[in-house]
A = this chain, B = another copy of it.
Amino acid sequence: MLRRRGIILPAFEIYGGVSGLIDYGPVGASIRRRVVQSWVDHWLSHGDIVEIDSPTVTPETVLIASGHVGEFNDLMTECKSCNSIFRADHLVEEQYPNADSLSAEEIDKLLGNGANCPNCSENTWTPAKPMNLMFSTKIGAMSAGRTAYMRPETAQGMFMLFPALYRHFRQKLPFGAIQTGKGYRNEISPRQGMIRLREFNMAELEYFIDPEKPPADDLNRRTEIVLLVPDPDGPHSGETRMGFGAALDSGIVRHPTVAWFLARTWDFLVNVGIDPERIRFRQHASTEMAHYAEDCWDCEIYGEHGWIECVGIANRTCHDLLSHEKKSNSKGLRAWRQFSVPRSQKIDRLTAIGSVIGPYFRGEAGLVTSALEELSDIPEFFPFKLTLSNGNVVSIDENMVERRKEVVNVSGEWFTPHVIEPAFGIDRIIWHILDHSYQESKKEGEDYTFLRLPEGISSVDCVVLPLFDKDGMGELASEITKAINSLPHRSAEMDSSKSIGRRYARADEIGVPWALTIDHTSLEDGSVTIRRRDDQVQVRAFVDEIISNLLAGTMHSLF
């Protein structure tokens, strides 16, 4: 159905296709745009979150700092008999459930232990070795070319723009930046259709906070009870059901901002049509979590492939900004924290005596002066060696400097903000929206399917159906279609081929919530029949009523 109705199709199919690459067809692309727009609106409505947009081609330095060049790997092995290449952990997953956490040595042992080649059934594997999963390319020509990669996530764009964001928000935390767009992961052997793609739609929020004042929302006002799977190694292991407020109060969720974003993730998913009964939040075990993260949750959705991670919500602390600060030497990746009362601080430092340093070091005197100012540990003995910013090492005698110990009042300090990151896999979410809204039934002995998509998510808002294509019904239908299409963010499609029942079925199958039928009475008085997909109830209404209710999202009031 997905392929036949132009929702999702294998990409480049006329050339045999490429696994891990998909097309959104005429119905699917519109659903995709609406899901992404809902996501953007969802976060922008916070008021302290803005959108940014950065390139997908990313120079190597950035991805060295982020750790992707070193660590974004899967273990790979090649069958020596037939030269097929596989992800090593997939070959041994029957022997060991979480095989992706194993080392190369451990996997080699399991491979030898009866994991035969799915292609030729031999057992002659090369040693498992890591393959980086980024698509690699070069910026520029020939000798001037620089290594670059297609971004594996959109997050780095927000870190790169931290200085501009800090300026935009007039130096006040907390604030967030979102980005939607393509991410890339050169899978060795993609499987599971839309779940594991080589090029995918991502949507990420980086929310920058002062760790001493973590922003939170009053979660105890909320009433929903959700399924949680806390850290299996922690004190709360085992599945449990409770509210978001209770999850924070009980210490299961370890950070108030993380708890808030778990709840806001829930809001978004339910709003775009995910069944609340098929959502759960799974906390990473400390062994599974990145070394720098302090609390990390997967929001998983249940569907045809079982529980699938669709959103990750992590407290990444100061890790990312600090790594980029170290690698780039940028001074722009910090925020200023004003103390509520000025604090007194002991200062112990060496100050250069200009009249000695000047003549002695001549051209390098300035460098010596600033190197002395930046010394945090004051050496106990003279002379000592001092490294300058140009790499030269000089020797400092007692007569060149003056030691000052003083107590000063400081009004605040620079610090590296922490970041809470909710990262959404849009294709996986769309897959589950389709899965959860798909409903089969029988009509007059034949299979009949509905897609119960929420309003605002379906590819068009209504279909316009001239009962017959004569007496001007076609023309009126075409006028009404045009009128709806000229409304902001509303759309209609006309369908005049085959029986009216067949046309209803076609619209139900792709989830169009409203069908407008134009008949002889329409030609006389301008009223049309509205049919509601979800209960197939029909009422008559005038076109201008319909248009104003479509615009306001209040079509149900006509029933």
Which of B11, B33, B333, B493 sits near A160, CB closer than 8 Å? B11
Which of B32, B137, B170 sits near A150, CB closer than 8 Å? B137
Q: Known contacts A9-B161, A165-B26; is A33 also within 8 Å of B52 by CB?
A: no
Q: Which residues of B contact A47 (CB under 8 A)?
A: 478, 481-482, 485, 492-494
Give chain A interface residues in 150-199, CB to chain B under 8 Å. 150, 157, 160-161, 163-165, 167-168, 170, 177, 179, 181-182, 184, 186, 188, 198-199
Interface size on A (CB < 8 Å)? 98
Which of B131, B163, B485 sits near A14, CB closer than 8 Å? B163
Q: Is the CB of A57 within 8 A of B198?
A: yes
Q: Is the CB of B143 within 8 A of A85?
A: yes
User: Which segment of A15-23, A240-248, A305-313, A432-440 sits at the interface?
Assistant: A15-23
Q: Is the CB of B332 within 8 A of A6?
A: no
Give chain A interface residues in 126-152, CB to chain B under 8 Å. 131, 135-144, 146, 150
Copies of this subunit: 2
Say if the beta carbon of A369 comes within 8 Å of chain B: no
User: Which segment of A37-45, A110-118, A218-226, A512-520 sits at the interface?
Assistant: A37-45
Chain B residue nearest to A200 in the complex (CB): B55
Say if the beta carbon of A415 comes within 8 Å of chain B: no
Q: Known contacts A44-B485, A55-B22, A168-B6; is A12 also within 8 Å of B62 by CB?
A: yes
5 residue pairs bridging A and B, Cβ less than 8 Å apart: A25-B161, A32-B53, A37-B37, A44-B491, A85-B144
B-binding residues in A (CB < 8 A)? 3-6, 9, 11-15, 18, 20-30, 32-33, 37, 40-41, 44-47, 50-59, 61-62, 76, 78, 83-85, 131, 135-144, 146, 150, 157, 160-161, 163-165, 167-168, 170, 177, 179, 181-182, 184, 186, 188, 198-199, 324, 327-328, 330, 332-333, 478, 481-482, 485-486, 488-489, 491-494, 497, 553
